Structure 1
Amino acid sequence: MAQQSTKTTGTIAVFGATGRQGGAVVDALLDRKATVRALVRNPHSGRARALAARGVELAAIRTDAPASLAAALMAVEAFCFMTPEANTLEEVETEIRIGTALVDAAVAAGVPHVVFHSVFGADRERGVPHHDSKHAIEEYLRKSGLRATMIRPAPFMEEVAPSLEHGEIVLRLPLPEDAALKMISVRDVGRVAAALLLGTAEAPGGAVELVGDELTGPRIAAAFGARAGLPARYEALSLSVLPSDLDRAMFREFAKAAEHPSDPAAVPSTLDLPGWIRATGWTAPANVAGSRA
């Protein structure tokens, strides 16, 4: 990513602000004193009210009502959106429908800049539902004529969850022992999105892949063990433990992605895994049932 001197000072609209990624974007924008408008389905929900209490403007929308979407995007300087993750073919259709409706609304409202939260590898169709749906939305956005930036996060560090068993940190993933998993913290996804939305950074070519660290399973386990002051080990599981063909396809893609090393330094100031562990104050989980530690 490159730094940019022209800064956005108007209202920034966010769809998905009550979720994890969108919430990280809102946090980063508010940290930089930006004016934020959250597009929400239910402005009376607890999460929406919590946003309003922090000074976020709420715009009630319906994703099946184009006029409500376009009205919510009027007079904004930038718009950030992420779509619900699709895990079935039916959910793929729903996600694409929501994504294209948001793009159409941005066109109707004349939004100057749109940032779409895609997923790592979405520039290629892969047969993984939440990759293919993001790919379709990226293509639709590219053809819209809007100035658009795609951010493609790797899997989230927050989703790596070791257990404590008999006084030992244990990490199990359906990933070969020698395959390095690419990761990014949700916090950093929000910070990168905010920089792009505010115009303090730009992504050459209109897209940026977000990787804060890439480590093999044994090294991931060791990082958690070092924090806990405990021994650690990694167990590579068979893909057969996953509940569906779609999940198995996703982890095959993670293994394939490991064959092409990334450069975390390409996105400055992101946390590596040990840094994320320290920053979040991670502590060892409770012992699993039956453990003796």
Structure 2
Amino acid sequence: MDLLGGAVIDSLLSRGARVRGLVRDLGSDRAQSLAGRGVELVRIDVSDAASLPAALQGADAFFFMTTLEGDTHDVDGETRQGIALIDAAVAAAVPNVVFSSAGGADRDSGVPLFESKRHLEERLEKSGLRVTLVRPVVYMDHLPLLGPSVEHGEVVLRLPLPDHIPLQLITIRDIGQISASFLLGTAEAPAGSIEIAGDQRTGGQIAAAFGERAGLPARYEALPLQAFDDNPHLQAMFRWLQETPAFQADIEAVKVIEPTVWDLPAWVRSSGWAVPTPGQ
């Protein structure tokens, strides 16, 4: 169970819903924690497609996403995961399916991770299922993996993005909240899909939000795309982000569905983010 799946479960449980969690290891600490909260656990193996429909039998709604595993360049493997889960939902005749895709997946981004999700979107659209496509932008929760650092008493953030180009952001918490609303039928996406963001900030404004939390001055430095030569997926995404406009979420429309959606300062305050050790 990944962080996003956990966020969806948290939101569903907070609303009194009965939840079935599909997990790989029934004995894991995370699985046992879910069981202790009343979640019905079912072990699945996505590579065994024939076994999946039984895990979805009788479900009123199904949320899923796909992830890279093992070989982090194996986009085809991620697609196979999604196909197996979609086919299982069809076989089990699940009445309501919510798929967490990616912002821009419907706009010929050329980003392999997004193109993979678009392939799954198209399969869902042809499946005959009632489907909602949730397209999140960049996760705020991933920003600490990209920085910032503290150098000489100053918060420094470096990304391969010119400072005049704003970056749309969303929290995992809010993806979970919005997805839960679609699963429970308390909200609907226009035409069955929605790109979602909670904030939009330039690199300098992102650095400033972390600096304010740390009580330190902040600086942003735009990097060349070559800085991500060792990560072709991120490099492809930032290349696309430089082609303005890339992400196109209507934040006010998102707030109609989830009025409590967090902006970046709210996430920084609530996430437990701490000032990194200087030089790291």
TM-score (norm 2): 0.91
* TM-superposed deviation, 1:168: 0.7
* TM-superposed deviation, 1:150: 0.5
Q: Which amino acid aligns with 1:272?
A: D
User: Of 113, 126, 145, which residue of structure 2 is paired with 1:130?
Assistant: 113
Q: Which amino acid aligns with 1:198?
A: L
Choose 141-150 or 158-167, whichever is displaced more.
Answer: 158-167
* TM-superposed deviation, 1:45: 2.0
Match for residue 7 of structure 1? none
Which digits, 9 at most, give the CA deviation of each residue in 1:230-268, with x for residues without a partner? 100001011111014443221011222546764311111
Q: Does 1:156 align with 2:139?
A: yes
Mapped partners of 2:244, 2:196: distance in 1:
13
> Do the aligned partners of 1:73 and 1:105 also contact (CA within 8 Å) in 2?
yes
Match for residue 206 of structure 1? 192
Q: Give the alignment's Cα RMSD to 1 decimal.
A: 1.9
Structure 2, unmatched stretches of 5+, are none
Mapped partners of 1:259, 1:98: distance in 2:
26
> Do the aligned partners of 1:182 and 1:258 also contact (CA within 8 Å) in 2?
no
User: Of 250, 259, 266, which residue of structure 2 is paired with 1:275?
Assistant: 266
* TM-superposed deviation, 1:86: 7.5
Q: Does 1:264 align with 2:251?
A: yes
Counting matched residue pairs gives 272
The alpha-carbon distance between structure 1 residues 228 and 98, as it changes in their structure 2 partners (threshold 3 A), is same
TM-score (norm 1): 0.88
Please show how residues 1-293 of structure 1 align to structure 2 within 5 Å.
18-85=1-68, 91-161=74-144, 162-242=148-228, 243-258=230-245, 262-268=249-255, 269=259, 270-288=261-279
SS of aligned partner of 1:288: coil
* TM-superposed deviation, 1:194: 0.5
Q: Which amino acid aligns with 1:129?
A: P
* TM-superposed deviation, 1:182: 0.9
> Do the aligned partners of 2:104 and 2:248 also contact (CA within 8 Å) in 1?
no
* TM-superposed deviation, 1:199: 0.8
The alpha-carbon distance between structure 1 residues 189 and 216, as it changes in their structure 2 partners (threshold 3 A), is same
SS of aligned partner of 2:77: helix
* TM-superposed deviation, 1:60: 1.3
Mapped partners of 1:44, 1:230: distance in 2:
44
Which digits, 9 at most, give the CA deviation of each residue in 1:100-126, with x for residues without a partner? 111111111110000001011111333
